[in-house]
């Protein structure tokens, strides 16, 4: 029995916002230090661009609508479940084309053993790479530390002759960053906003979901973009972004459809049968561009045979079949089949509980797991 509340675990409530160039997703969740998060409200709105809007204007307008939805619809549900509609933390993930991430390695060597200290790590993180034009630095994150060639989970205070730090440098579009902050802070009246890029979220979450997988690619394909990560020996080694998504296939098959408004039931054979030849041409063109992305990775090191696919609801099976094609398989130097694993919200059930009215959304589910583990110690896999 807790006396005067002693021993009672504090519940944490979190808002997560996911922005890509074709949609905005939102979720509200709550959890305590020893529980999985419960998502009480979750959905995604496709951005329908007006004729007089550019990409950023349409996206920011959609974000404004979703922020109102958080206050008017989501917060009352959180209040019903927890007794308060207040969010303790706000996490926002921004996708291509408004972000860039580069993985770099910084090495320190000496003839005599030295102590790896927090000051040394700070000095390494200060060595920021050249910032791309039109962007500003968002974050410098340590992905891994290797002492004498071996990954070391707790390197501070340990002796080594060689230290190598793997760093993810993240940048955000300098024009969109203040707009995002203004919209979110005007809604929540708080500065407790953390902006992230896809690479850090994906790398962290997949280590939790698949701790025994050490060599793999992740492909996150949205309506308008693709984010690809390469993990080798359990360490993120390369990230690349491509402004190419599912909608590019649809647009080419249906010439003249405005950006962000191309929608089709790709798995509906009755619809595709009417346009079989033009759809095949659109798919071939899309695969050719996707192949160039794989070739960029293959030019540096052999590709792993496991690919984790994260894609919009309703497109996973279609994209799995499309990616498992001869032209892509030829980039691997053996006939061993590829292992393409499409991730769905249901696969996260051991880590994330979906409320009765929360709509399934794999990206938001992964983001929710990241946010929970960023605040509390990760739970063991069930």
- Please write the tens of the pLDDT for every residue from 291-334: 999 998 988 888 999 999 999 888 899 999 999 888 888 888 67
Distance CA 201, CA 47 (A): 23
Write the DSSP assignment of 256-303 as a string of letters: TPPTT-----TT-HHHHGGGHHHHHHHHHHHHHHHHHHHHHHHTTSPP
Quote the Cα angle for 251-294-173, to 5°. Answer: 65
Residue 52 lies in a domain: yes
Distance CA 160, CA 114 (A): 6
> In the predicted model, what is the mean pLDDT of residues 199-211?
93
SS3 state at 16: strand
| Closest to 196 (Cα-Cα) out of 211, 209, 177 | 177
pLDDT at 247: 87
Residue 316 lies in a domain: no
Residue 260 lies in a domain: no
| Percent of the chain topping pLDDT 90 | 65
Q: Which is it for strands 353-354 and 38-46: parallel, antiparallel or unpaired?
A: parallel
Residue 181 lies in a domain: yes
For the chain, how many structural domains are there in total?
1
> In the predicted model, what is the mean pLDDT of residues 110-131?
89
Residue 89 lies in a domain: yes
Residue 356 lies in a domain: yes
| Percent of the chain topping pLDDT 70 | 91
Write the DSSP assignment of 169-238 as a string of letters: EEEEETTHHHHHHHHHHHHH----EEEE-HHHHHHHHHHHH-TT--SEEEEEE-SS-EEEEEEETTEEEE
Whole-number average pLDDT of the chain:
88
Strand partners, 94: 19
- Entry pTM: 0.89
CA 90 to chain CA centroid, nearest Å: 16
> In the predicted model, what is the mean pLDDT of residues 139-152?
94
- pLDDT tens digits along 234-256: 999 999 999 999 888 888 777 64
Distance CA 309, CA 295 (A): 18
Q: For 55, what's the count of Cα atoms within 13 Å in the CB-facing half-sphere?
A: 16
In the predicted structure, residue 128 carries a pLDDT above the cut 80:
no
Q: CATH number, domain at 34?
A: 3.30.420.40
Residue 270 lies in a domain: no
Confidence of residue 261 (pLDDT cuts 50, 70, 90): very low
Residue 271 sits at φ, ψ, to 5 deg, of -75, -45
- Structural domain including 22 reads 12-97+177-196+347-375
Residue 365 lies in a domain: yes
Confidence of residue 8 (pLDDT cuts 50, 70, 90): low
C-alpha distances in Å from residue 252, one per residue of 6, 147, 256, 259, 273: 62, 50, 8, 11, 16
């Amino acid at each position: 029995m807790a006396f005067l509340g002693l021993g009672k675990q504090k519940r944490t409530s979190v808002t997560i916002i996911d922005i890509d160039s074709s949609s905005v997703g939102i979720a509200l969740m709550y959890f305590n230090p020893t529980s999985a998060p419960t998502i009480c409200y979750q959905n995604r709105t496709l951005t329908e661009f007006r004729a007089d809007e550019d990409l950023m204007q349409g996206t920011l307008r959609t974000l404004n609508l979703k922020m109102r939805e958080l206050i008017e619809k989501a917060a009352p549900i959180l209040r019903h479940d927890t007794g308060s509609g207040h969010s303790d933390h706000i996490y926002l993930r921004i996708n291509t084309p408004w972000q860039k991430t580069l993985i770099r390695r910084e090495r320190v060597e000496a003839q005599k053993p030295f102590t790896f200290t927090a000051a040394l790590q700070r000095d390494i993180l200060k060595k920021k790479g050249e910032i791309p034009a039109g962007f500003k630095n968002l974050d410098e994150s340590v992905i891994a530390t290797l002492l004498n060639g071996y990954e070391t989970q707790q390197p501070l205070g340990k002796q080594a002759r060689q230290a190598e730090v793997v760093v993810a440098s993240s940048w955000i579009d300098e024009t969109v960053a203040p707009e995002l902050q203004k919209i979110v802070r005007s809604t929540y009246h708080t500065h407790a906003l953390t902006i992230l890029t896809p690479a850090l979220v994906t790398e962290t979450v997949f280590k939790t979901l698949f701790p025994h997988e050490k060599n793999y690619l992740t492909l996150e394909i949205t309506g308008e973009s693709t984010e690809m990560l390469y993990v080798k020996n359990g360490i993120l080694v390369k990230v690349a972004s491509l402004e190419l998504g599912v909608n590019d296939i649809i647009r080419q098959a249906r010439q003249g459809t405005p950006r962000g408004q191309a929608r089709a039931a790709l798995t509906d054979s009755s619809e595709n049968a009417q346009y079989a030849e033009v759809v095949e041409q659109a798919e071939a063109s899309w695969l050719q561009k996707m192949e160039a992305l794989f070739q960029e990775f293959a030019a540096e090191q052999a590709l792993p045979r496991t690919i984790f696919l994260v894609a919009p609801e309703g497109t996973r099976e279609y994209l799995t079949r499309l990616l498992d094609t001869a032209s892509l398989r030829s980039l691997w130097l053996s006939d061993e089949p590829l292992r393409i694993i499409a991730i769905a919200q249901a696969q996260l059930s051991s880590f994330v509980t979906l409320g009765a009215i929360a709509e399934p959304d794999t990206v938001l589910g992964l983001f929710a797991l990241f946010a929970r583990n960023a605040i509390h110690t990760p739970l063991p896999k069930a």
